[in-house]
Amino acid sequence: MKSSLLIGTAASALLLAGCSQQENDAADASDTMVDEASMAEMDSAVSETPIEENTSGPNPAIENNPLLAEWTTPHGAPPFDLISEEHFVPAFNAAFESHSAEINAIASNSEPPTFDNTILAMETSGVDLGRISRVFFNLASSASNDDIRAIQREMSPRLAAHSASITLNADLFARIDSLYQQRDSLGLNAQQLRLLETTHHDFVRAGAQLEGDDRERFAEVRAGLAGLYTQFAQNEQADREGWTLALDAEDLEGLPDYIVSAAAGAAADRGLEGHVVTLARSSVEPFLQTSPNRELREEAWTAWMTRGDNENDNNNHQTIRDILQLRLEMANLLGYESFAHYRTGGTMAGTPDAALELMEQVWWPARNRALEEQGDIEARIAAAGLDHEVAPWDWRYYTEQVRAERYDLDQSEVKAYLQLDNMIEAQFYVAERLFGISFNERFDIPTYHPDARVWEMTNPEGEVIGLFYGDYFARPGKRGGAWMSSFRPQNGVNGDIPIIINNCNYNRPAEGEPALLSFTDASTLFHEFGHALHGLLSATDYPSLAGTSVDRDFVEFPAQIYEHWLEQPEVLERFALHHETGEPMPPELLERVLQAQTFNQGFATVEFLNSGFVDMAYHLEPNPADVDIHEFEQTVLASRDNLDAIPMRHRSPHFLHTFAGEGYSAGYYSYLWAGVLDNDGFAAFEEAGDIFDPELAQRLLDSVFSAGDSEPAMDAYVGFRGREPSVEPLLRNRGFIETGG
């Protein structure tokens, strides 16, 4: 069951302030990242009077504000051509006031509580606040600037305070609780009952049952955390965007043409001459894979791993300690032993022990495979006549050499067949085959940046049932990683169609050249589109149950299962076409690409689990105020005999998943949990002998992609698969056990 802080149409937008966007870890997902306030700025924002009543007649800032007007764009899409930064604060002020009035009217209603006058009334409240927040926080992620960041520093704690004013409203909760206690006698249908239960559950987890000083302190903690999340995210962003590695002519030697081109583009984007490597994963990781200059690899890797960990104003150590201390206090106020117990209490796992048990089950097979992989690298180093141990900045470089030798794979050769536009068409094709939907690009709908593109999604009858935005290239002002979010969720009450967006950070090609992807990039594209479809295909009766509003360790399942279709020959033969000749990928190359998918899985799984173990350990720590960040990391990693050459995928000072919000805090394990589901789930299509089996596709649609949070996550999975999942397909697909073993 999800743990939201609000209900109503403002809920998912305000969760953006608490960082609920879905992202793909495979692409350095900075899930949960929004720019929040520093502690001092947060205190100032919370203490000020949030709304000043207008007593002097009409207010032009409100009357002429496009954020508060009716949107007459096609399908009610945001009118980005009319919106500017100056519109947000007046719009937020007006929306706070109107939403508060709606909530107060519900709470003070003299009539006995009913589903319609309480739950449904809350569900239809906050329309303006919802759409303003979604537009704003999507811009803050995709097209930020100094003005937007300043507005975030003001609004994030105010949103937290507004959320608390609702969930801690005693009269409102009394009505909800009254309905909950008599829920079995109200004659509610299944979705009404589910909405009532999740609403009550969310209010309880947001402190509604607290009293007196505890209630007041809980609100203070929530506001404090909102400021700290922004501080953490902005510190990481400052370190990431403030570093570049300039490459001289000799530094370019040995680099593939596509990396040289990307480095030139990165320099041009920043107004620089020549070539630079940046700390975007799409820039630094290919450099680490291909640069023969070991000193430069070390320099780039060190900068990458020390974001938020430098002796400057962006150091995140104390911010981490403050976040952990407030989270522990919040969990204790609610009666939980730790924040990890609080977070997992609303998930499929249910307890920290269950999450740790799964990670432990995978850890040792993954570590053993990583040791084998390290042996291969050591052999390559020795064969080159070098005498040094395997360091973290060596792993990717020598791994690519082993991959090339073992599978005769040249990444440049593979990329030549993976054009971005073709892969976009491939993701649409899979959706059409599975779910009968189609996508048609629109060029007349305003966007916030020229990179952003818009498609209508239509059902088999030709009706438009969703809008999809795609924003695929890295640029200054755009956060790192890849993610899905929404401008509007599907709304079964008023009939609003969903408006969903995917963001990626691929390298922009040179003028006139196609954008070419690595296979990992293409997997990221499919992953995020799986999330997008979870929002676009939603068909629930109520917006709070729509789309991705599901358990954190279930939300990755639709995205991760969708990745499997990219790996199918039937899809690649159709869309993996050479960008110059148009010829399909040769069968022998396709076979080698697919055979290589289990390669280096020991490394990939170990670095992921390192972050998962540290994340969980932080949130089980009883004395977080005294934690030494470096020592804590090393202690956790050493406890499982970690390999020195494989650190955490995301080190603590830039671990946006867990410290820039609560989306994956004590929940980074969720990717692995969902990995069990997606590998077991796709095995059903393999067993059927048809990757587009109509019966299975219909069950996947009915129980997962369209169902939202209309039933518990395990019930949804069993509705699709017919049974609970097995971990064996995951272990087999990662090459940790033999086929059939």
Tokens 């032009």 sit at which residue? 60
Instruction: Please write the tens of the pLDDT for every residue from 470-519.
Output: 999 988 888 888 999 999 999 999 999 999 999 999 988 888 889 999 99
Q: Average of pLDDT values for 406-427?
A: 94
Please provide residue 278's backbone torsions phi and psi, each rounded to the nearest 5 degrees: -115, 180
What is the DSSP code (8-state) at residue 586?
A: P
d(CA 675, CA 282): 23
Categorize the per-residue pLDDT at 59 as very low, low, confident or very high, splitting at 50, 70 and 90: low
Higher-pLDDT residue of 37, 623? 623
- Write out the catalytic residue numbers: 528
d(CA 652, CA 323): 12
pLDDT of residue 28 exceeding 80, the answer is: no
Instruction: Please write the tens of the pLDDT for every residue from 578-609.
Output: 999 999 999 999 999 988 888 999 999 999 99
pLDDT of residue 41 exceeding 80, the answer is: no
Residue 153 is predicted with a pLDDT of: 85
Angle at 331 (CA atoms; ends 327, 335), nearest 5 degrees: 165
d(CA 463, CA 441): 15
Residue 124 is predicted with a pLDDT of: 96
Higher-pLDDT residue of 61, 2? 61
Give DSSP secondary structure letters for 599-666.
Answer: TTHHHHHHHHHHHHHHHHHHTT-S-GGG--HHHHHHHHHHTTT--TT---SS-GGG-HHHHSSSSSTT
Tokens 């056990």 sit at which residue? 737
d(CA 111, CA 42): 38
Higher-pLDDT residue of 14, 729? 729
Whether residue 737 contacts residue 365, with contact meaning beta carbons closer than 8 Å, is answered with: yes
Residue 61 is predicted with a pLDDT of: 64
Q: What percent of the chain has pLDDT over 70?
A: 91
408 three-state secondary structure: coil
Angle at 287 (CA atoms; ends 285, 292), nearest 5 degrees: 135
Lowest mean pLDDT among 74-83, 228-237, 427-436, 671-680: 228-237
Residue 17 is predicted with a pLDDT of: 33
Instruction: Please write the tens of the pLDDT for every residue from 527-572.
Output: 999 999 999 999 999 999 999 999 989 999 999 999 999 999 999 9
b/e code 365-384 from CB counts within 10 Å (16+ = b): bbbebbeebbebbbebbeee
One-letter amino acid of 437: I
Instruction: Please write the tens of the pLDDT for every residue from 70-94.
Output: 999 999 999 999 999 999 999 999 9
Whether residue 519 contacts residue 414, with contact meaning beta carbons closer than 8 Å, is answered with: yes
d(CA 584, CA 587): 9
One-letter amino acid of 582: G
What is the DSSP code (8-state) at residue 669?
A: T
Residue 29 is predicted with a pLDDT of: 34
Rounded-to-5 percentages of helix, strand, coil across the chain = 60, 5, 35
Residue 567 is predicted with a pLDDT of: 94
Helix (H) / strand (E) element for 72: namely none
- Residue 576 in tokens: 């993996």
What is the DSSP code (8-state) at residue 709?
A: T
What is the DSSP code (8-state) at residue 75?
A: G
d(CA 378, CA 55): 75
Strands 499-506 and 464-473: parallel
* Chain mean position to CA 169: 30
Strands 483-488 and 275-277: unpaired
Evaluate the CA torsion angle 523, 524, 529, 532 in order and state its sign: positive
Categorize the per-residue pLDDT at 234 as very low, low, confident or very high, splitting at 50, 70 and 90: confident
Residue 408 is predicted with a pLDDT of: 87
d(CA 9, CA 490): 10
